[in-house]
Amino acid sequence: MSSPVRILTAVPICDGHDSAINTINLEFIRHGIEVVYLGFHRYAGDIVRAAIQEDVAAIGISSYNGGHIDFFAEVVRQLRRQGAADIAVFGGGGGTITHYDARQMKRQGVDQIFFAGTSLIEMADYVKKHYGKPRKRMGIKNQDLALARELTAIEDTFARGKGPGRNRESRNVNRASKVIGFTGPGGAGKTTLIDELVLRFLRYEPKARLAILSHDPSVIGKGALLGDRATMINSQDDRVFMRSMATRGQAGGLSPATESCLARLTKADFDYVIIETVGTGQEALPFRSGLIDQTVLVMNPDYGARLQLQKIVMLDAADIVVVNKTDLDRAKAALSEIEHRLTQNKRKQQLVATVAKRHRDPGVDELYEMIKGDSVAAAHDDCPKSDGRSKQSRRSKSAATGKKK
C-alpha cells in the first residue's frame, strides 16, 4: 500500500471564514487524504513554509474575504522562489471567485479553482487524481524541502510495509540535538504547552533551531486531520521545522516511521527536537528506552479518582510531570496527589504546575528552565560575536550524553 495523498489546507490572512474548509477537510479525510490544516487568518509565508516542511503535494486555499487574486499569486510566487514549484495550489471561494478571476489566477500559476456548487465528492476525487503522483526528491537546494522529502521517503518506505531494516540508528549517541518527548492524555494541552515553550526558545536562544514531530491518530490506508499546526501560533517561524505525522495504524502514540524520522532529524543541525505523541491512555509507554533524552508527561487535573494515578505507567517513566490547567478547581488536590505518587517512585522526577493558555505563565517559564537544564547558562552569556548556535549544539549534546542511563 502506498502513502495517502497529503495536502495542506488554510484560509488566507484577515479571513476567518472556516466553515467551508472545515466541511471540505472532513470530506477529504473520508476519502483517504491526509490533511494538514493550518487554520484561518494565515499569512502566505506561513502557508508556504508549512507546505514545504510538511512536504504536501498541494495547497488548498479557501478564501471568502476578497483579495484572492493577490493572495493566491503570492503563495505561488513564494513556492517558486523556494524551489517548491511542484507543490500545486488550488482553492475556492464560493461565488466570490468569479470565472474571470479564476482565468487570471490560473495564468498566474494556480492549478485549479472550484466554483460555488461543486460537490464535495468532485473536489476529493480531483485531489486524489491529480495530487497523488510522486515528486522529485533529488537535487533540491532548499534545505527544509530536501529534509522534508527525505522524511516523506521514510514514511513511504514504511507505508509499503518495509521496515527500517538495519538502519535503526536512533540511539542518542553522537547526535547533535537534545530530544524531548511530550506525551499525555488527549486534551491535557500538550500542543499549547509546546508552542509556549517554542516562544521561549525563540526568544531566549536567538540562534537556536527546533524541530517538532507532532502526531495525530489515523488508521492504515485512511485519511487523517493533522491540525496541531493551526493552534501553534508561535511555531510559525523559520527557525522551527515542524512535521505532522499520522500514526497510520500503529498503536501506542507514534507512527511506524517516527524513529527513523527522528534519527534523520537529529542528524540535521537542530538544537532541540520535540516529539509530541497522540493523546495516550494509562498503559502507554510511547518512547522506547534511549529514544529520547527527556520525557515530559502532561496531565490535566481531571484524571479521576486518586486510584487512577496508580495505573498511569508514564508517571514512573517521565522525567518531568506537568500538571497543566491548574486554574481549574481540582488543581490543588491533583498536585498534591501526583506529588505523593512521584515520591513513591524514589526517582529524581520533577513536577511543575502550568496554565499553558495564559500568557507569560510562570509555570511554563519553570518548565522551560527544566528542559534547558545546563544549557541555560550558555544562552545567558551568549557572546554576540561568537557563533551561538554551534556553542548551543555542543552544550545540548553534552547535556544529552551526560544524561544517558
Partner 1 sequence: MSKLGAVIEAAEKHEKFVHDQVKRARTDQKFGREMTERWSKIKAGIPVARAPTGLPLPRLALPEIDEAGEIARYLFGDGLPGEFPYLNGAYREMYLEPLHEIEMGDYGNRKSPDGSNGDSKRNGAKGNGTKPRVEPQEEPTRLFSGLMLAEDTNKRFHFLSAHQRSKRLSTAFDGPTLYGIDSDADGVMGKIGEGGVAVDTVEDMVRLYDGFDVGAPNFSASMTISGPAPIIMAMYIAAAKRRFGAGVVPNLRGTIQADIFKEVQAQNETIFPTEASLRFLCDMIEWTTTHMPRWYPVSISGYHIGEAGSTPVQQAAYTLSNGFAYAEMLAARGVPVDQFGPRLSFFLDCGLDVEYIALSRVSRKIWAIGMRDVFGASPRGQMFKLHTQTSGRSLIAAEFKNNLTRTAAELMLAYMNGTNSCHSNSADEPFTTPSEEWIRLAAHGQAILLEESGIFKHTMNMLSGSPGMKAVERAVEKAILDEFREIESLGGVLAAVENRYQRSQIQNAAHRYEQQIYDGTRPIVGLTRYRDPNEEPPKIELARTPRKRQELQVNRLKKFRQKHAGKAEKALDKLATVVERGENTFPALLEAVEVCSLGQITERLQELVGRFRPMV
Selected binder of partner 1 within 81, 95, 311, 390 (CB under 8 A): 95
Cβ distance 270 to 241 under 8 Å? yes
Smallest distance, Å, CB 309 to partner 1? 23
Dist. CA 249–CA 7, nearest whole Å: 19
Interacting span for partner 1 (CB under 8 A) from 59-67, 127-135, 246-254, 346-354: 59-67
How many residues line the site for partner 1 (CB under 8 A)?
48
| Strand partners of residue 59 | 8, 89
Residue 99, interface with partner 1 (CB under 8 A)? yes
Q: Which three cell numbers stand for residue 105?
A: 489566477
Furthest-apart CA atoms within the chain: distance in Å: 71
40 vs 368 by CB, closer to partner 1:
40
Site for partner 1 in 269-328 (CB under 8 A): none
> Where would I find the beta strands (DSSP E) of 175-277?
178-183, 210-216, 224-226, 240-246, 272-276
Dist. CA 310–CA 318, nearest whole Å: 14
Interacting span for partner 1 (CB under 8 A) from 63-71, 145-153, 292-300, 305-313: 63-71
50 vs 147 by CB, closer to partner 1:
50
Residue 231, interface with partner 1 (CB under 8 A)? yes
Nearest Cα to Cα of residue 211 among 198, 200, 193, 228 = 198
Dist. CA 294–CA 400, nearest whole Å: 9
37 vs 201 by CB, closer to partner 1:
37
Length in residues, the chain: 405
Smallest distance, Å, CB 286 to partner 1? 23
Residues in contact with partner 1, shown as a per-residue x/- string from 130 to 169 under the rule CB under 8 A: ----------------------------------------
Gyration radius of the chain over CA positions: 22
Residue 117, interface with partner 1 (CB under 8 A)? yes
Q: What is the dihedral of CA 134, 54, 16, 234, to 10 degrees?
A: -170
Smallest distance, Å, CB 60 to partner 1? 15
Where do contacts with partner 1 occur on this chain (CB under 8 A)? 12-19, 22-23, 26, 37, 39-41, 43-45, 65-71, 74, 94-96, 98-99, 115-117, 119-121, 187, 192, 195, 227, 230-231, 233, 357-360
